Amino acid sequence: MDRDLWSGLAVFAAIVDAGSFARAATRLGLSPSALSHAMRSLETKLGVRLLDRTTRSLAPTPAGEELLLRLKPAIDSVESALSDLDSGRDKPAGRIRVSAHRVAAIYAVLPRLADFARAYPDVTVKLTVDDGFVDIVADRFDCGVRHAMTLQGDMISVRISDPVPLVYVAAPSYLHDRAPPAHPDDLDAHRCLCYRHTSSGVVHRWEFEGGGRAFERTIRGDFTTNDVDVLRDAAVAGLGVACLPQPHAERQLADGTLVEVLAGWATTLPPNHLYYPSRRQPSAAFRVFVDAMRV
């Protein structure tokens, strides 16, 4: 088969799978203009339009749909063959694409990567940090890292961290002329810094445990952000009280730029899990990566 034709067919399948030229370009490591040129060339060679495109949408034409029905099994077969080939290597090699939320990336994934790189120098890791919900199948990640409570039911998951304690904090400068909150009811008299979930847009409800019960409160956010680093830095700057994962505030608590408030009231998040689709055929590189991440 014409090499350019096969390349064009693979690009066509990737664009439809991604749902846009921009997303497909990111997955393939190419520019959107290069993919657009490849599609024009493919349609010219075949003498038929395969995609209906507008400024806001993209969909295969009836001819494109028919071609995809026949093309996808061939692509799946090639990917399976490559996976089998990789499994037979003496030394695992390849690329692992990981999506993780920021705290897990820093405190669960990164600490293990140096040893992993020394043990498997031919395996490269592409770590994308995103605190929102990510569809790892649609976005072509090999795996994701999230708290267990957010995982989809059809995923295989591997625990890679212990439960993650939360902590309520404020800067000494903020507390200089006001009494620190000792009970959740005291928060009504304080400025509170809140986290907004990237995907849903929902503001995180603060959770408390104490007095033999667990409960949540909707907090009036005097400052709101969707980035946990910015949330911590806002607390350090003296903007108010924040709820943070304890690992993300340990250095500031140690050097005194933050102090704990509401001691004994904070809850704990579930462990972080690495997860991937149950139907995925793991390569040798992916298997050793999972083993390196598990606790």
For residue 280, what pLDDT is reported? Answer: 61
For residue 215, what pLDDT is reported? Answer: 92
Query: Which phi and psi angles does 135 have, rounded to 5°?
Result: -85, 100
Answer yes or no: same fold for 94-162+271-293 and 164-268.
yes
> Structure pTM?
0.70
**Helix (H), strand (E), coil (C) string for the chain:** CCHHHHHHHHHHHHHHHHCCHHHHHHHHCCCHHHHHHHHHHHHHHHCCCCEEECCCCEEECHHHHHHHHHHHHHHHHHHHHHHHHHHCCCCCCEEEEEEECHHHHHHHHHHHHHHHHHHCCCEEEEEEECCCCCCCCCCCCCEEEEEHHHCCCCEEEEECCCCEEEEEEECHHHHCCCCCCCCHHHHHHCCEEEEECCCCCCECCEEEEECCEEEEECCCCCEEECCHHHHHHHHHCCCCEEEEEHHHCHHHHHHCCCEEECCCCECEECCEEEEEECCCCCCHHHHHHHHHHCC
CA 137 vs CA 141, 216, 239, 260, 262: distances in Å: 6, 33, 39, 40, 40
Q: Which CATH superfamily is domain 94-162+271-293 in?
A: Periplasmic binding protein-like II (3.40.190.10)
For residue 106, what pLDDT is reported? Answer: 94
d(CA 292, CA 295): 8
For residue 166, what pLDDT is reported? Answer: 96
d(CA 267, CA 199): 23
For residue 13, what pLDDT is reported? Answer: 86
Q: Which amino acid is at 232?
A: R
Give me the residues of the chain with pLDDT under 70, please.
Answer: 1-3, 55-56, 77-90, 149-153, 279-281
For residue 289, what pLDDT is reported? Answer: 96
Best CATH choice for the domain 164-268 from the list 3.90.1150.10, 3.40.190.290, 3.10.20.580, 3.40.50.150: 3.40.190.290
| Beta bridge pairs of residue 248 | none
For residue 239, what pLDDT is reported? Answer: 97
| Beta bridge pairs of residue 261 | 168
Which sequence spans correspond to the domains of the chain? Answer: 3-87, 94-162+271-293, 164-268
- The CATH number of domain 3-87 is 3.60.70.12: no
d(CA 131, CA 195): 11
Which tokens in the block code for residue 231?
Answer: 């949330």
For residue 149, what pLDDT is reported? Answer: 62
